[in-house]
Amino acid sequence: MEGSGLLKFKEVAILNPYNLKDNKGYHQTIVDVKASTNSDKVVIIEIHVDINKG
């Protein structure tokens, strides 16, 4: 992956560890992830999961 422009993470942590099964009545869940790169840059990633029951 050298020169590919991708960041390599040395540490990744889930900031709000909610489980989808705990949100049975909701159609969307959001998970925030904090990651630190080898050069000590911090990246916050927000993941949206949309559950379609159709």
13, part of any domain: yes
29, part of any domain: yes
What's the Cα-to-Cα distance from 43 to each of 6, 22, 26, 35, rounded to whole Å?
13, 27, 27, 5
Q: How many whole angstroms separate alpha carbon 25 and alpha carbon 12?
A: 29
| Per-chain mean pLDDT for the chain | 77
**Angle at Cα 9 formed by Cα 7 and Cα 14, nearest 5°?**
125
Lowest mean pLDDT, pick from 9-18, 19-28, 43-52: 19-28
Q: What percent of the chain has pLDDT over 90?
A: 20
Q: By residue range, what is the domain housing residue 15? A: 9-50
40, part of any domain: yes
How do residues 21-31 score in pLDDT, each as one tens digit?
Answer: 565 666 677 88
18, part of any domain: yes
2, part of any domain: no
Reported pTM: 0.60
